[in-house]
Amino acid sequence: TVARTTGSPSLASAPTGYTTRSFGGKEWRTYVLEQGGIRIATADRIDVRENLLRDIALTAGIPFALALTGSLVLLWFGIGRGLRPLEQLRVALALRQPDDASALPAMSSPPELRPLVETVERLLARTHAAIDRERRFTDDAAHELRSPLTGIKTNLQVLQLASSRPEHEGLAGQALSSAESGVLRLQATLDQLLMLARLDGRP
124/103 Cα distance (integer angstroms):
9
Highest mean pLDDT pick, 3-7, 20-24, 57-61:
57-61
- Higher per-residue confidence, 168 vs 150: 150
Average pLDDT of span 173-181: 74
154/156 Cα distance (integer angstroms):
5
Give the chain's mean pLDDT. Answer: 78
Q: What is the 3-state secondary structure (H, E, C) of 54-107?
A: HHHHHHHHHHHHHHHHHHHHHHHHHHHHHHHHHHHHHHHHHCCCCCCCCCCCCC
Q: pLDDT tens-digit profile of 17-53?
A: 888 878 778 888 888 888 877 888 888 888 888 888 8
Instruction: Judge whether 43 and 11 are in contact, CB under 8 Å.
Output: yes
Which pTM does this prediction carry?
Answer: 0.44
Q: pLDDT tens-digit profile of 139-162?
A: 777 777 777 777 777 777 777 767
Residue 69 confidence (pLDDT) above 90: yes
| pLDDT band (50, 70, 90) for residue 98 | confident
Q: What pLDDT is attached to residue 151?
A: 74
Q: What pLDDT is attached to residue 199?
A: 66
Residue 195 confidence (pLDDT) above 70: yes
Q: What pLDDT is attached to residue 164?
A: 65
- Name the nearest CA neighbour of 126 among 114, 138, 134, 116: 134
Longest dimension (CA), the chain: 152
| DSSP states of the chain | -----TTPPP-TTPPSEEEEEEETTEEEEEEEEEETTEEEEEEEEHHHHHHHHHHHHHHHHHHHHHHHHHHHHHHHHHHHHHHHHHHHHHHHHHS--TT--SPPPP----TTTHHHHHHHHHHHHHHHHHHHHHHHHHHHHHHHHHHHHHHHHHHHHHHHHHHT-GGGHHHHHHHHHHHHHHHHHHHHHHHHHHHHHHHHT--
- Higher per-residue confidence, 107 vs 53: 53
User: For helices 114-163 and 46-94, what crossing angle results, to 10°?
Assistant: 40
Average pLDDT of span 180-184: 76
Q: What pLDDT is attached to residue 200?
A: 60
